Structure 1
Amino acid sequence: MWVFKSYNCELCGSDFVSRTALKYHFRQKHLGEVHCEECGQEALREILHDHSKKSAHDRSSTEIHKLNWECLEERDIMHMATETSKTCRMCSQYFGTALREKHDMQEHHFTANKRAQTSAGFSPHNMLECKSPQELKKFLDENILPASGSLSAACMGEIGVLLRLIQSCFPVPTSRMIQGGSYIKGTDTRGCSEIAIVLLSDAFANVNNCKKQLREALDALRENLKQTPHGNRILMGKKAPLSLRFNFLCTESLHSHSVEIMAYYDVLGPTPSTDLKLRLYGKLYHCADSEEAQLCALALLPYQVDFVKTSIKRVKELIRLMIHWLQTSFAYPTKENKFRRLPSSYTMELLTIHVWELAGKPLFFSLLQGMKAVLELLVRYADIDVVWHSHYHPKFPIFVKVNQKHTRPFILDPVNPTVNVCDTCNAWDEVAHVSRCSLRKPLFRGVTVKSPWLFTNKW
């Protein structure tokens, strides 16, 4: 998944890719409206009294938190920050690295005790309740790994049909399609499958030309897809300025894929030279227009996919376990941390690959030992400092500048030296707390570290 900058609405928490879009949203959504403290919704001042009597307030707090959680999760997938995202969990105000924690304490009294109360939320049948590696493997096979065999083949066929349908329905001629997301990388789970599609067209002469045509083209694609025989299996999401989002239901395997479609002109081409990639890095580093940077970064999607996709099968199983842990071990956001942002799935993928590399890239290893190592590193998140140099040299000027001013945790995108993927998360202290709680669960009780994971003894 690529990494984007977003502008956050402090009243409702919605994200936007430009200040202009945020201002328009604020005028349309919030002027003349106030925040209802009881249900978290917005209502006109004149009808706030009547609104408070509505049945929305009869919902249990668990249901409301679940709705908020799903909304936050969707935003997390679609919009990622390119700058340090040290936003407040309670009011989404932006801060530098050191000031955020002070603000949390002074303005919101977000103490360690409150963090403990609002962070962890383990389900009764969480995989951490397994009591042996054999039980973990059985849980992985039955609950996390996607369907295999004929169901997998049927799913692949339907996705192929959908991709061809998207290209034919897009009103602008396309020269190439690139694909990403967990489904393409092989890290999707049974309950979470993402497909990112970028349509490249020579009809877009430059970034300004693309931005002018893109919204109209995506709106036309939206309507065209509805008219196809697959239209009844496409559930459209909310409109976004630079992308089209929907869920696609596979009839054979009876599960859905979260799809996001974007379009741009072919900045790099199918076989770019090293110089061309370095010039793109320079453009991303100096770009002041967030929408332009967002579009330009799409060209790097194939390299992000390849970096994860080429991992061995065992590493992908470990990644799936960690993504499932991320999805099932945290409490729904409350008023105390309603703007909380957890690490993205891409961040978890890279962190897991890094830990496997620290172990010496073993071909065969214990998933239990691997999970324990990743969780222990998350506890020590301030020590995370990860850089790969497969796409840029250590002396590359942009890398040197970014590396000099980075803050921990730090995982530099292996294909983009301008982005620290850890900056998408503003709640690393909550991640550390849940990791500590996880290590005390039955799954890890009595587990001793074995080779090749002995390096964790130094942590």
Structure 2
Amino acid sequence: MGRILSRIFNGETSNSPECSSVVVHINPGEENYEPWCLPQHELGNWFSENIQHGTNAFAKDCKSAIDSVVQHIYCRCSENILAFHVYKVVKGGSLGKGTMVKDLSDVDLVAFVSQPYLEPISKIEKEEYKETLSGIIADLTSTLRGVQNVQIIRSDEYLLNFKIQVGSRWIDVDLLPTTDNVPKFQRSYRKLFLTMLDCGNGTRQLYSASFVQYRKQFVKEQPGYVKELIRLVKYWASRFLPKYLQKSYPLELITIYRWEKAGKPSYLDKAQGLRSVLKVLTKLDRLRVYWSYMSGVDYQLNEIIIRKLDMKSPIVLDPANPTNNVCFMYKEDKIEVLASAAKRTLKTDLLKSVTVWPYFGEYRAHRW
């Protein structure tokens, strides 16, 4: 998995400015419902009956529906209805990473377009890349319009967003076309990330979709009990956070980080794990986390990236693409909203008497 390199400023006073906004509680009275009103020892059974049960079947149905869309795209390419060839579609998001929760999860599809129709950003100008990408998105929109059980929502310069029906539910899907912007089988990706540092933010975003396989792999390779904790954290977010703060990937990485800093316990009490993650969310302005997951990425490079891009806490760098701070949206009043929701939950019957995981390791790199 590489190494986790992290800092959380325990016991120090935060320098973040005070926020004067009023925090509005989502779902008032939620604390009185299960699982928050349950004793700690009953959480496991509640999780099995209410989250685990049905999720696997839902994920299977969702995968089947998504596969039908993917096959439709492949067929249009083979019939030359589309001017380009899609040689691979990677299922990302919760479905691809194995952290899906029924009724809550969205899906990311990344369609890799063959060269020379879409050349890597390193070979052509940014504007030419964007123009070609825009045409691909328009063509994909056209080919999916009218497909049974698919409802086009919107598109922008990076993606096509649509809904697909899975049983009686409609699931959000983001379809992002890209090409091989990330060279395969590199002994070191250090040069790539240094090159990306010299690009503007818009160009770095064009690279982002190409990292999907590494992003997916990092989460998918986590033990099953860690992915169960991630599902529980996502469920918590759906009940206590506003929609705009329910983004999965930051919560997934914060959960993995906290488990690793506890020494990767092989036995995971869900209540203890949840309390430990929520305690991190009460101190987000102190968080600075990164990994040495990609070959050639180390403590020094991560610090160079943070400094050169002038990143502000909370900082959680994407293990697959450390030029991306996945917590960039957690700023000022949003930190207060997250902290308030976490503190509110920590007072519930379920968690108020639970001890958090200990912290192991110092600021510098630690081999896990």
TM-score over 0.5 for the alignment? yes
Task: Give distance in 1, aligned partners of 2:48 and 2:96.
Answer: 20
Is residue 435 of structure 1 aligned with residue 351 of structure 2?
no
Counting only pairs closer than 5 Å after superposition, residues 109-188 of structure 1 correspond to structure 2 as: 110=21, 114-115=22-23, 118-122=24-28, 124=30, 126-145=33-52, 147=54, 152-169=59-76, 171=82, 172-188=84-100
- Indicate the residue corresponding to 1:384 in structure 2: 287
Contact between 2:291 and 2:298, CA under 8 Å: does it hold in 1?
A: no
Residues 305 and 343 of structure 1: CA distance in aligned 2, closer, same or farther (over 3 Å): same
Residue 375 of structure 1 aligns to a residue whose secondary structure is helix
- Indicate the residue corresponding to 2:109 in structure 1: 197
Residue 168 of structure 1 aligns to a residue whose secondary structure is helix
The structural deviation recorded for 1:398 is: 6.0
Is residue 295 of structure 1 aligned with residue 206 of structure 2?
yes
Contact between 2:234 and 2:246, CA under 8 Å: does it hold in 1?
A: no
- Indicate the residue corresponding to 1:338 in structure 2: none
The structural deviation recorded for 1:371 is: 0.4
- Indicate the residue corresponding to 2:223 in structure 1: 312
- Indicate the residue corresponding to 2:187 in structure 1: 274
Larger radius of gyration: 1
- Indicate the residue corresponding to 1:423 in structure 2: 328
Residues 154 and 397 of structure 1: CA distance in aligned 2, closer, same or farther (over 3 Å): closer
The structural deviation recorded for 1:384 is: 1.9
- Structure 2 regions of 5+ residues with no counterpart? 1-13, 361-368
Amino acid at match of 1:437: R
The structural deviation recorded for 1:122 is: 4.2
Map Cα deviations across residues 228-275 of structure 1 (whole Å, 9 max, x no partner). Answer: xxx231122123222111111123xx4333211111221224x33134
Residue 235 of structure 1 aligns to a residue whose secondary structure is strand
Counting only pairs closer than 5 Å after superposition, residues 198-237 of structure 1 correspond to structure 2 as: 198-201=110-113, 202=115, 203-205=117-119, 206=124, 207-227=126-146, 231-237=147-153
Counting only pairs closer than 5 Å after superposition, residues 63-74 of structure 1 correspond to structure 2 as: none
Task: Give distance in 1, aligned partners of 2:53 and 2:149.
Answer: 20
Residues 376 and 247 of structure 1: CA distance in aligned 2, closer, same or farther (over 3 Å): same
Q: How many residues align?
A: 330
Contact between 2:162 and 2:174, CA under 8 Å: does it hold in 1?
A: yes
The structural deviation recorded for 1:432 is: 0.9
Task: Give distance in 1, aligned partners of 2:96 and 2:40.
Answer: 28
Identical pairs, percent:
23
The structural deviation recorded for 1:308 is: 0.7
Which among 344, 364, 374 is matched to residue 277 of structure 2?
374
Task: Give distance in 2, aligned partners of 1:343 and 1:157.
Answer: 25
Contact between 2:290 and 2:316, CA under 8 Å: does it hold in 1?
A: yes
Residues 388 and 128 of structure 1: CA distance in aligned 2, closer, same or farther (over 3 Å): same
Task: Give distance in 2, aligned partners of 1:123 and 1:178.
Answer: 40
Residues 161 and 123 of structure 1: CA distance in aligned 2, closer, same or farther (over 3 Å): farther
- The two structures have a TM-score, normalised by structure 1, of 0.65
Amino acid at match of 1:238: R
Contact between 1:128 and 1:443, CA under 8 Å: does it hold in 2?
A: yes
Contact between 1:399 and 1:418, CA under 8 Å: does it hold in 2?
A: no
- Greater RCO (Cα-Cα under 8 Å, separation 6 or more): 2
Q: Which moved more, 1:254-263 or 1:124-133?
A: 124-133
The structural deviation recorded for 1:123 is: 5.6
- Indicate the residue corresponding to 1:321 in structure 2: 232
Task: Give distance in 2, aligned partners of 1:247 and 1:325.
Answer: 24
Task: Give distance in 2, aligned partners of 1:330 and 1:174.
Answer: 37
**If each structure's helix is expressed as a fraction of its own residues, which one has the higher value?**
1
Residues 211 and 403 of structure 1: CA distance in aligned 2, closer, same or farther (over 3 Å): closer
Task: Give distance in 2, aligned partners of 1:376 and 1:122.
Answer: 21
Map Cα deviations across residues 351-379 of structure 1 (whole Å, 9 max, x no partner). Answer: 00011112211222110010011111211
Contact between 2:97 and 2:216, CA under 8 Å: does it hold in 1?
A: yes
Counting only pairs closer than 5 Å after superposition, residues 79-118 of structure 1 correspond to structure 2 as: 101=17, 105=20, 110=21, 114-115=22-23, 118=24
Task: Give distance in 2, aligned partners of 1:185 and 1:312.
Answer: 12
Amino acid at match of 2:172: S
Root-mean-square deviation (CA), in Å? Answer: 2.8
Contact between 1:282 and 1:398, CA under 8 Å: does it hold in 2?
A: no
- The two structures have a TM-score, normalised by structure 2, of 0.79
Task: Give distance in 1, aligned partners of 2:302 and 2:58.
Answer: 46
Map Cα deviations across residues 12-47 of structure 1 (whole Å, 9 max, x no partner). Answer: xxxxxxxxxxxxxxxxxxxxxxxxxxxxxxxxxxxx
Amino acid at match of 2:141: R
Residues 369 and 237 of structure 1: CA distance in aligned 2, closer, same or farther (over 3 Å): same
Task: Give distance in 1, aligned partners of 2:347 and 2:109.
Answer: 40
Contact between 2:271 and 2:354, CA under 8 Å: does it hold in 1?
A: no
Residue 423 of structure 1 aligns to a residue whose secondary structure is coil
